A and B are shown apart, each in its own frame.
Chain A
Amino acid sequence: MWVVYTLNGLYFAALLFLISLGLNIILGVMGILNLAHGSLYAIGAFIAAWVIIAIGMKVPVFFLYVTLLSGLVLAGIVGFLMEKSLIRFMYKRTLEYQLLLTFGALMLLEDVIKMIWGGQAYYASAPFDLLGKVEIWGHIYPIYFLFVMVVALMAGLFIWLFMSRTKLGIMLRAISLDREMATGLGLDINRLSTFAFVLGSGLAGLAGALVVPTTPALLGFGHEPLILGFIVVVVGGLGSLKGALVGSLLVGFTRSFGIAVFPEIELPLLFLIAGIILVVKPEGLFGR
């Protein structure tokens, strides 16, 4: 059974990695803690579910998986709109305003989802079913979970290469390290910040889209991932991509083994671990 627990831990970690990566990019480049990140995750889930239900059966199998990208795209679009309308006002303001503004956005988006998609559950399990199961060390395991891990890994690699090798990525890193200096060097902060926000939101949407074949999309979908994402970000270190990786593994495994061993304790245990890490090293494991 430990094989299954470990694999589940990796699966949770994969999803959390995408979410926290997004949060960290936004936090690092813009210095904004986006409380509405979970809503973007939910939007990704709903749009992916909707697209799969609408056209899933009519396209070749390969395209079915491509539709998951629709989650990424729509979340990115919403992120873009959000940044243009709201976030830009937050640069000069203090933390309290940021948190409140994004909190307001969270409530707003929650009901926007309700307006568009209603209160029902959207089941879109086709991608999950089609991949079938595989036998690993004597245990049956759904291939879809492995697929998700691969996608997350690829996304992580992509972001890492992007941040270290491309000019755009280096510019983003420059802004996150020293905003003033970056402005002084002539970087277009506004455009780059928007880009960072869209990128982060897209990652959240991708995570939501990936989850939807396994769990129906419901209202309140984004609440738990948001809080878990926060824990990962805080534990791993604000703005640190390495921290997002380590943090998500930590949280993913705690969750997986916690649920297996003593379900009641899983959530409190998680917060306790986070609390302890924060007390000992408040910047997080890899934080500045």
Chain B
Amino acid sequence: MIFIALLFIPRILSIHDLMLFEYGITFAIVGLGFNLLLGYTGLLSFGHGAYFAAGAYSVAMIAKYLPQAYSLEILIPAALFFSLVLSIIFGFVCVRHTKIFFSILALSLSMLLYALLFKLYHITGGSDGLRVTLPTLFGMSFKGIRRPEFLSGTYYYFLLGMFSVSFLVMKGIVSSPFGKALQAIRDNEVRAELIGIRVRRYRLYAFMISGMFVGLGGALWTFVNGHVTADLSHWVFSGEIVYMTLLGGFGIFEGPIIGAMIFTYLKLYAMGNTQYWMFVIGATLIVLVLILPNGVAGAVSSLWTKIKLKSD
């Protein structure tokens, strides 16, 4: 039902709001992937920006070096592939540790990528970044169309399609025995190991899957943003991903989606209204952590339960 409503969004929203919405959707995909690792496996990575950057830079680099392959049906698998490779390499190193070491290791590795992207100016554009133009889709070319039309037309539906697919795939994953095993690992690692779950291996799988989702989000994001920079791998950006997931609530499946949407609007609202937007975001985060540790979705769901109990 919500899905039907989403189909009509381009008619209702202005171009500017639509772009914002699309940003939100790409981050929603990122959030879904990230939460597999945080909410379901219990691992907090402060370095997931690296996979976002992997996906985003795959698109940008193909645009720069292989323009003949610059079409969505190649770009998306390429982004998935590169973020998968990166998450296997980084993940293999990270999952051997837990808690704080895991978070710091993930952070350091993402900063390694950041440093490489930043310094290798001639390949990656360094801090200037690379431009991303409109791709083709199954042979349909968009030459001559400007970005806003592209975004409000075909791309919106493509994005929505990708989001739906991600949503369903992730839903399937968390409901599967694999998903249950991850939750077992999160809740009690020792016990999970004792009943025969290969903890380290499953953590790696979770890491890989989350890396791919985040990379997909990154790739889809590039078309809305038009530009990629090394900051995407910086730990502050990774921190924003964590923020979004927590804001929505990492205990609930839909939480990160809500968090991503709210954060996108919150950030832009803050940036547009005051030059001290970081203060606003920081203060909101603090208040959130202290008062709503389960995020917005968590608070709503507790409220709902309370209301239901009262009415019985």
Name the B residues within 8 Å of A170 (CB-CB): none
Name the A residues within 8 Å of B115 (CB-CB): 267-268, 270-271
The reply on B105 being an interface residue by CB < 8 A is: yes
Q: How many A-B residue pairs have CB under 8 A?
A: 115
- Stretch in contact with the other chain, from B140-148, B187-195, B239-247: B239-247
Determine how close the nearest CB of chain A comes to the CB of B132; give it in whole angstroms.
24
Taken together as a complex, chains A and B put the C-alpha atoms of A234 and B104 apart, in Å, by 8
Interface flags for A256-274 (1: CB within 8 Å of B; 0: not) read 0000000011011011101
Determine how close the nearest CB of chain B comes to the CB of A234; give it in whole angstroms.
5
Given contacts A100-B289, A227-B235, are A282 and B282 in contact (CB under 8 A)? Answer: no
Determine how close the nearest CB of chain B comes to the CB of A108; give it in whole angstroms.
3
Q: B108 and A234: CB pair below 8 A? A: yes
Closest to A234 in B: B104
Taken together as a complex, chains A and B put the C-alpha atoms of A35 and B284 apart, in Å, by 17
Q: A108 and B93: CB pair below 8 A? A: no
Contact residue among A33, A97, A101, A274 (Cβ-Cβ distance under 8 Å from B108): A274
Determine how close the nearest CB of chain A comes to the CB of B112; give it in whole angstroms.
4
Interface flags for B88-114 (1: CB within 8 Å of A; 0: not) read 000001001101110111011101100
Interface flags for B232-272 (1: CB within 8 Å of A; 0: not) read 00011001001100100000000000000000000000000
Taken together as a complex, chains A and B put the C-alpha atoms of A106 and B246 apart, in Å, by 17
Contact residue among A96, A110, A279 (Cβ-Cβ distance under 8 Å from B44): A96
Q: B44 and A99: CB pair below 8 A? A: yes
Taken together as a complex, chains A and B put the C-alpha atoms of A264 and B126 apart, in Å, by 11
Name the B residues within 8 Å of A96 (CB-CB): 38, 44, 242, 246
Q: A271 and B97: CB pair below 8 A? A: no
Contact residue among B97, B101, B239 (Cβ-Cβ distance under 8 Å from A103): B239
Closest to A262 in B: B119
Q: A275 and B109: CB pair below 8 A? A: yes
Name the B residues within 8 Å of A275 (CB-CB): 93, 105, 108-109, 112
Name the B residues within 8 Å of A86 (CB-CB): 286
Given contacts A107-B279, A107-B281, A107-B285, are A95 and B120 in contact (CB under 8 A)? Answer: no
Interface flags for B9-28 (1: CB within 8 Å of A; 0: not) read 00000000000000000000
CB proximity to A under 8 Å, residues B271-312: 275-279, 281-286, 289-290, 293
Name the A residues within 8 Å of B276 (CB-CB): 111, 114-115
Given contacts A111-B282, A267-B115, A278-B108, are A104 and B289 in contact (CB under 8 A)? Answer: yes
Q: B118 and A267: CB pair below 8 A? A: yes
Determine how close the nearest CB of chain A comes to the CB of B36; give it in whole angstroms.
15
Q: B283 and A104: CB pair below 8 A? A: yes
Interface flags for A75-116 (1: CB within 8 Å of B; 0: not) read 000000000001001000101110111011111111110110
The reply on B52 being an interface residue by CB < 8 A is: no
CB proximity to A under 8 Å, residues B193-238: 235-236
Closest to A283 in B: B101
Closest to A272 in B: B112
Q: A278 and B101: CB pair below 8 A? A: yes
The reply on B34 being an interface residue by CB < 8 A is: no
Majority-rule SS of B interface residues: helix
Taken together as a complex, chains A and B put the C-alpha atoms of A275 and B107 apart, in Å, by 10
Q: A107 and B235: CB pair below 8 A? A: no
The reply on B160 being an interface residue by CB < 8 A is: no
Determine how close the nearest CB of chain A comes to the CB of B285; give it in whole angstroms.
3
A interface size (C-beta, 8 A):
41
Q: A282 and B101: CB pair below 8 A? A: yes
Name the A residues within 8 Å of B278 (CB-CB): 107-108, 110-111, 114
Determine how close the nearest CB of chain B comes to the CB of A95; give it in whole angstroms.
6
Name the A residues within 8 Å of B61 (CB-CB): none
Question: 6 more A-B contacts (CB under 8 A) besides A95-B99, A96-B242, A282-B101?
Answer: A93-B293, A100-B285, A103-B239, A104-B289, A107-B278, A111-B279
Name the B residues within 8 Å of A231 (CB-CB): 108
CB proximity to B under 8 Å, residues A235-268: 238, 264-265, 267-268
Q: B285 and A271: CB pair below 8 A? A: no
Determine how close the nearest CB of chain A comes to the CB of B158; give it in whole angstroms.
33
Q: B275 and A114: CB pair below 8 A? A: yes
Closest to A119 in B: B275
The reply on B174 being an interface residue by CB < 8 A is: no
A-B contacts, 18 listed (Cβ < 8 Å): A103-B243, A104-B281, A104-B286, A107-B278, A108-B278, A108-B283, A109-B282, A110-B279, A111-B276, A111-B277, A111-B282, A114-B276, A230-B108, A267-B115, A268-B116, A278-B93, A278-B108, A279-B96
The reply on B46 being an interface residue by CB < 8 A is: yes
Name the B residues within 8 Å of A105 (CB-CB): 282, 286
Taken together as a complex, chains A and B put the C-alpha atoms of A93 and B289 apart, in Å, by 10
Determine how close the nearest CB of chain A comes to the CB of B137; give it in whole angstroms.
36
Determine how close the nearest CB of chain A comes to the CB of B230; give it in whole angstroms.
11
Closest to B118 in A: A267
Determine how close the nearest CB of chain A comes to the CB of B117; give it in whole angstroms.
10
Determine how close the nearest CB of chain A comes to the CB of B278; give it in whole angstroms.
4
Name the B residues within 8 Å of A268 (CB-CB): 112, 115-116, 119
Taken together as a complex, chains A and B put the C-alpha atoms of A41 and B2 apart, in Å, by 48
- In order of increasing CB-CB distance, the 7 nearest A-B pairs are A107-B282, A104-B285, A108-B282, A111-B279, A271-B112, A267-B115, A104-B286
Taken together as a complex, chains A and B put the C-alpha atoms of A116 and B279 apart, in Å, by 13
